[in-house]
Structure 1
Amino acid sequence: MQAVEVAPVDAIVPRLPWIRYNEPEGHLDKVAQTLMLRSDRNTPKTALGVGPFDEPLLARLQNLGCEVERLNLIGDAAPGVGGVGYPYLETMQARLRPEFIGQATSSLADIVVCRYLIEHSHEPVASLAALTQLLEPNGVLLIEVPDSEKFLRALDYCFLWEEHISYFVERTAKALAAQAGLRVERFHRFEGQLEDALVLILRRGEVEPLGTASPEDREVFKRYRTSFASRREAYRSRVASLAAKGKVALIGMGHQSIMFLSALGLHPYISLFVDDSPQKQGLRVPGTTTAIIPSADIVGRSDISACLLAISPRAEITVRAKLKPLSKKGTEILPIYAGIEGKKRLLEAL
């Protein structure tokens, strides 16, 4: 799945310096060991990273004896619209092109790492071509992207994001590599509760062209596209019923909660926006005039019917503990994610 229209880079440059993201790292010990055990038995000596999420893997490769280097894709990039902004992923993806890479560095490496950046690229084939320029003749390129299959099958619309241009599943990630003339030497899937991580180790070589999507993939996407209106109405009805009993709070104010709020048209029913990040508190939620408040401001209240959790599963235990005074009063604590298993969800599968 790929966005047809993309937001201009200048329009989405972060306006605040602390807007940064985190990506999973628990699988990287295995990834590093796999990269060092080359199939041709030549131990890699050098590794190069191109983005902010490569550092944890580079550190592991360095511990295993690799000499590592980081390519600065932002460099002297100008701020965004009106001279305001702090260039980040949107700027990095725009510079991940053969013409820029050729000017930015002459370094080549046995291993080139690019984690969680290709899905942001407006031209992913060109981005892979740029990364290939950085490889030694027998080098390998590692790319890691989020797998979209779980949220597509679960009909979860809060995972859509203006900064993600491509939404990969296993087949389409491999097809992209083939389009760029890269052979998949190894493929790994690392499971996550909401989305898996797809890791592809690529090498130059002859490739067999792959179709961009299988009939099953196309059917999954078709269902996702055609189900939006009915799911939106179901969510609106469910949250409206909660709002009729008291105030509804949305916990965790990031891009997924904003998409949940906006795409599903839930502004009329949610009156409290909560995040314990001091940097976010006091800021206004997009599309509203309501300021973000800390969880300490709501736990003593008795008029809250539901707290909707828009937080990562790894943070949920901590957040639920903070909200325990509310749950003791009968407040429902419900994850917004449709694909989460083993817990009571806001909207059960239809």
Structure 2
Amino acid sequence: MTVCQACASSESDVLVDGGMQALCNAYPSSLEEYAYQFHVLLGQCKTCGLIQLLRTPDENEIIPKYEWITYSEPEEHLDELSDQLLKLPGLTQDSVFCGITYKDDSTLERLRRRGIKTTWRVSPRDLNITLPNAGSETVLPKLNDESTIKKLIDKNQRPDVIIGRHVLEHAFDTQKFLNAMSVLVKPQGYVVFEVPDCTKNLKEYDYTMIWEEHILYFTSTSFSKLFQNTFFTLFQRFYYPYTDENVMIAVVKNNKSDNDFKKTWVSSNEEDFFGLMFSKNFDVIYKKIHIYFQGLFNQNKKLAIFGAGHISCMFINLFKIKNYISFVV
């Protein structure tokens, strides 16, 4: 990390050092095939408390090489969210709604069913992207260019509302991306950001939350503070609990100037405590996992991992247990 993604501070603490690892979406066809590696280093800003990757992989390397790699997010809350968005002040059925990636298609469809006449989504073709289901890791870097934003506005109607589900945590340059969104949306317009809540992961010492495609790891506090030095005002918050990963939503309004930015940041004691305990307990969990797997191995058990997604990859690589695993399903 050169500077914090939120407050631009250069001071941080290392929480977890996972060493050099291959990307979770690489899937080489043989042991001899070259696999790009990057330094997995999770840290916490000492100024604002935001937990984030201190090293990020190459943006070109992180783009999936296979079209069959797709990501899905929970959607059970989207009907209620759509109803809430239509109640935002100043919106009518003639308001224009825009989505950032394919993850926003189902929300836009719900809004159309509720009477919204005009919706559009950023097309990968407009960004010179050939992948049909291009995700955040492909789309977001292209959106940081203001000339690209202007082309999108010229081609489509400038939106009153932008929907951005599960994109913010993927942004390699958070402030540049937020600035681009403030240019794309109308003045006094809204941007709806949905992100995973990492509070449970931090409390339960779930280190598999770490993933090279997630740059930021939000709690309720750090999510709200993120918009402090942006052109957005936090207008409304929604929270939807799920069994695996809770969802946080921030509706922000494009109504600030540079003069409204706060110049000071203060991390909360809760954020600092989360980071401290998450860091301190890594070695404890690491030893417990090895004792458990060594016991099974000593009993001549054949061990398999069910699932080859990023959670399984991080579990195997972060805790260095590959020698215990016979195969991955």
Q: Bigger CA drift: 158-167 or 125-134?
A: 125-134
Aligned to 1:292: none
Aligned to 1:232: 286
Aligned to 2:314: 259
Report the alpha carbon displacement of residue 69 of structure 1 after superposing the two structures with TM. 0.5
For structure 2, the 5+ residue unaligned runs are: 1-50
Aligned to 2:219: 169
Query: How far apart in 2 are the matches of 1:132 and 1:208?
Result: 14
Q: Bigger CA drift: 128-137 or 39-48?
A: 39-48
Alignment of 1:90-109 (within 5 A): 90-99=137-146, 100-106=148-154, 107-109=157-159
Aligned to 2:123: 72
The secondary structure found in structure 1 opposite 2:208 is coil
Q: Confirm whether residue 16 of structure 1 aligns to residue 71 of structure 2.
A: no
Report the alpha carbon displacement of residue 252 of structure 1 after superposing the two structures with TM. 1.3
Among 24, 28, 31, which residue is 2:78 paired with?
28
* TM-score, normalisation: structure 2: 0.76
Q: Report the AA paired with residue 236 of structure 1.
A: H
Contact 2:304/2:327, CA 8 A, preserved across alignment: yes
For structure 1, the 5+ residue unaligned runs are: 80-84, 275-350
CA deviations over 1:280-304 (Å, ceiling 9, x no partner): xxxxxxxxxxxxxxxxxxxxxxxxx
Identity of paired residues, percent?
Answer: 25
Query: How far apart in 1 are the matches of 2:218 and 2:113?
Result: 31
Query: How far apart in 1 are the matches of 2:205 and 2:70?
Result: 27
Query: How far apart in 2 are the matches of 1:35 and 1:77?
Result: 30
Query: How far apart in 1 are the matches of 2:134 and 2:248?
Result: 26
Query: How far apart in 1 are the matches of 2:121 and 2:251?
Result: 19
Report the alpha carbon displacement of residue 40 of structure 1 after superposing the two structures with TM. 4.3
Aligned to 2:295: 241
CA deviations over 1:114-145 (Å, ceiling 9, x no partner): 11011110111221111122222332110101
Alignment of 1:301-316 (within 5 A): none
CA deviations over 1:150-170 (Å, ceiling 9, x no partner): 101111111100111111111
Contact 1:98/1:133, CA 8 A, preserved across alignment: no
Query: How far apart in 2 are the matches of 1:12 and 1:144?
Result: 22
Query: How far apart in 1 are the matches of 2:62 and 2:285?
Result: 28
Q: Report the AA paired with residue 149 of structure 2.
A: I
Alignment of 1:189-338 (within 5 A): 189-206=239-256, 209=262, 211=265, 213-245=267-299, 246-274=301-329
Report the alpha carbon displacement of residue 105 of structure 1 after superposing the two structures with TM. 3.1
Report the alpha carbon displacement of residue 211 of structure 1 after superposing the two structures with TM. 3.7
Report the alpha carbon displacement of residue 244 of structure 1 after superposing the two structures with TM. 2.6
The secondary structure found in structure 1 opposite 2:217 is coil
CA deviations over 1:233-273 (Å, ceiling 9, x no partner): 11111122123331112111101000001101111112131
Contact 1:98/1:129, CA 8 A, preserved across alignment: no
The secondary structure found in structure 1 opposite 2:88 is coil
Contact 1:175/1:212, CA 8 A, preserved across alignment: no
Contact 1:50/1:73, CA 8 A, preserved across alignment: no
Report the alpha carbon displacement of residue 219 of structure 1 after superposing the two structures with TM. 1.1
Report the alpha carbon displacement of residue 179 of structure 1 after superposing the two structures with TM. 1.9
Contact 1:250/1:270, CA 8 A, preserved across alignment: yes
Query: How far apart in 2 are the matches of 1:208 and 1:31?
Result: 29
Report the alpha carbon displacement of residue 204 of structure 1 after superposing the two structures with TM. 2.2
Count of aligned positions: 269
Query: How far apart in 2 are the matches of 1:259 and 1:154?
Result: 16
- Shift of the 47–86 alpha-carbon distance from structure 1 to 2, 3 Å rule, reads closer
Q: Confirm whether residue 184 of structure 1 aligns to residue 245 of structure 2.
A: no
Aligned to 2:194: 144
* TM-score, normalisation: structure 1: 0.72
Report the alpha carbon displacement of residue 177 of structure 1 after superposing the two structures with TM. 1.7
Alpha-carbon RMSD across the aligned residues, in angstroms, is 2.2
The secondary structure found in structure 1 opposite 2:193 is strand
Q: Report the AA paired with residue 84 of structure 2.
A: T
Contact 1:109/1:139, CA 8 A, preserved across alignment: yes
Q: Which has the higher contact order (CA 8 A, sep 6+)?
A: 2
